[in-house]
Structure 1
């Protein structure tokens, strides 16, 4: 007696035809090589592919040989190559010669002599409040 699962274009589907049936899996495995042999062959393929990957890592990229020849011919250093790649000048990449230097203050708070301002950046709160109060910037000049 066959239990019919359904009807397809090819005909009736039975339990024996069901690909999810565990009996069918056992039949398929017996047709192919044994599990132990297939595991060994897979491990051999893995080792072979790993060896190929290592060989690819070791080989130089295209153009490296030509680049080395140009570097040698013109006696270029790694710094020269970095400069060429970054597009920066030899001045260390700074935008301004004054950048990062200490500047003497130009303005002082008369109420608190410790508070000063160089005139660069945002105005300090005490300066903004005094200017709103009607004072002029020249009143704070040192």
Structure 2
């Protein structure tokens, strides 16, 4: 049994790939023809000019490549000012989400959450 070299195998696969790409292009051309005919028929039926199509196409794709996927709107995170501060460690908490352990431990010991309010310190 003979072994095929790397270059021989690569060359064979590239030729096969070229044949498959040609088949794909032929198939796409066959699929496109009826679609184009359908579009032209609809344009004639509704009296739509190619200029109207071009204008509508350019409006929808302005600012991006026609095949580029749309990006989700960028979300910006707002910085939330802390609402509570631990008097000894100066650790802060905004009051959102799960309460930190120093708040829950203090509440379990009977201290009110209001004792840690930052506004109460400055008042």
Q: TM-score, normalised by structure 2?
A: 0.47
Bigger relative contact order, structure 1 or 2 (CA pairs below 8 A, ≥6 apart): 2
Which protein is richer in helix relative to its size?
2
Which protein is richer in strand relative to its size?
1
